[in-house]
Amino acid sequence: MARTKAFDEDRAIDAAVDCFWTHGYEATSVRDLAQAMGIGGASLYNAYGDKRELFVLSLERYANRSMRERIARIEMRYPPRQAIAAFLGEIISRSANDPDCKGCLLVNSALDVASRDAGLGKAVASYLNEIRAFFGRSLEAGRRTGEIAGTIDSNVMSAHLLGVVLAVRVLARTGAKRSLLESVARPALDLIERPAKTRRPRKRSKIVN
Amino acid sequence: MARTKAFDEDRAIDAAVDCFWTHGYEATSVRDLAQAMGIGGASLYNAYGDKRELFVLSLERYANRSMRERIARIEMRYPPRQAIAAFLGEIISRSANDPDCKGCLLVNSALDVASRDAGLGKAVASYLNEIRAFFGRSLEAGRRTGEIAGTIDSNVMSAHLLGVVLAVRVLARTGAKRSLLESVARPALDLIERPAKTRRPRKRSKIVN
DNA sequence: GTTATTCTGTAGCAGATGTTCCAGAATCGT
DNA sequence: ACGATTCTGGAACATCTGCTACAGAATAAC
């Protein structure tokens, strides 16, 4: 027994994600948001309560549609070691073909807003930890199948791989070339290749796109 | 034949650095700056011209007093491979004992402002490249002295090491624990240890503080 | 001491910020 | 058709933004 909303909430959130992603939290005004979402300011406050609450929703939406989707898709499609390479390769490709230098919303937020808002900081850290957990799972699975050397500590290496992701996304935001991004990742990929017991020609893992 | 400035320009710039460092470019207002610097708004504009110009000066000041000082000091004091370990160790220590989660002004700026201002973006990228150059020099020198394996490509590895620095500083800003930061760096440090030609017990390089 | 020049505090500008208020429009159950 | 309830556009709020105008204070050369 009430008037129905005249806008698609999902599309609206996607527009909000895009705003925050491109310009950051502080530099995105509520009016920018409302215009991009195609609604008035009153509707925004009625539907989402607050700029900050809308940002929290946007983070969650981004995590679901971008990060978690990627992890699930890759984890399903590739065996463990290739999954790691595919993940890094995809991040690098995304970052290299990123004319607006948007980078990753989660990483951007980590530096932009997480330090000033403890709650958001915890949320961001938790999202980043999901990436680390993916690497951890893949490393353990790879060790079981023998794709990955048993000498590798998956707790340590998963943190290192998360670090590679962060570094790539930071450099991408400064407009770095693809070759630099690949150099950042290359040694980490080499590390998780099964080291030959007997000397044989080093085969470099192709970065999957 | 004119009135002298009533404030210490160096101290004032340091205060500005601190503001930008803690709160970022956008979230630091000219009034915040003026108050922290202990001067009036008019003096600020008279002496530095602009908020953006003051930021450029602050970046340079920070680079000189923090990054370049560290590089010069470490490069002078340690042999190549230890210099790399010492640099990473110092970054980690700084980041672990950073109650305000300030991180690194250059890295913060890379995400905060570099994407919206091409000029600042180039400046930040250039500063970051100085870190990479330091790693490159150290790797080459280490190869000459035999501390570092000749199989290591210093162009690739220097980018990777820069990546570790970036990752540590990003994670530090989200309040990560020291153990996580050390995990991020550990595999990179292991990589630049001279690999034994004959099997012998792996010795881990201590992270120099 | 005069004078030219530079500095400094205060006040103010126009515009943007996050948020709220309110009258009216649209919907649903009855 | 009615009433209760929810949504919507626009105007308005107080505050903040970067920046400037201006009058006066402090200096250094003469």
pLDDT of residue A34: 97
Residues of A in contact with B24 (CB under 8 A): 26, 112
At the topology level, CATH places domain A62-191 in: Tetracycline Repressor; domain 2 (1.10.357)
- What angle do the packed helices B80-96 and B118-145 form, to 10 degrees? 140
Q: What is the pLDDT of residue A204?
A: 54
- Of the two residues A209 and B103, the one the predictor is more confident about is B103
Residue, of B112 and A120, whose pLDDT is higher: A120
pLDDT in tens, B25-70: 999 999 999 999 999 999 999 999 999 999 999 999 999 999 999 9
Predicted pLDDT of residue B208: 55
Residue A72 has pLDDT above 70, yes or no: yes
Asked if residue A52 keeps its beta carbon closer than 7 A to nucleic acid strand C, the reply is yes
Q: List all residues of chain B from 92 to 111 with a beta carbon under 8 Å from chain A.
A: 100-103, 107-108, 110-111
Determine contact: A173 vs chain B, CB below 8 A: yes
Tell me, in Å, how far CA of A49 is from C1' of D13?
Answer: 18
Q: Give Cβ neighbours of residue B124 (< 8 Å, ≥ 6 apart).
A: A174, B59, B106, B109, B110, B114
Position A39 pLDDT exceeds 60: yes
Using CA atoms, how far apart are residues B69 and A175, in angstroms rounded to an integer? 26
Q: Say what percent of chain B tops pLDDT 70.
A: 92
Q: Nearest CA to the C1' of C25 belongs to which residue?
A: A3
CATH 1.10.760.10, domain B63-191, yes or no? no
> What confidence category does residue A124 fall into, taking pLDDT thresholds of 50, 70 and 90?
very high
Q: Does A39 touch chain B (CB under 8 A)?
A: no
User: Can you give the three-state secondary structure of B141-159, one letter per residue?
Assistant: HHHHHCCCCCCCCHHHHHH
Q: How confident is the model at residue B191 (pLDDT cuts 50, 70, 90)?
A: very high
Nucleotides of C under 7 A from a protein CB: 3-12, 16-22, 25-29
Q: In this model, does residue A200 exceed pLDDT 50?
A: no
pLDDT band at A185 (very low <50, low <70, confident <90, very high): very high
Locate the domains of chain B by residue range.
Answer: 63-191
pLDDT tens digit sequence for B59-108: 999 999 999 999 999 999 999 999 999 999 999 999 999 998 899 999 99
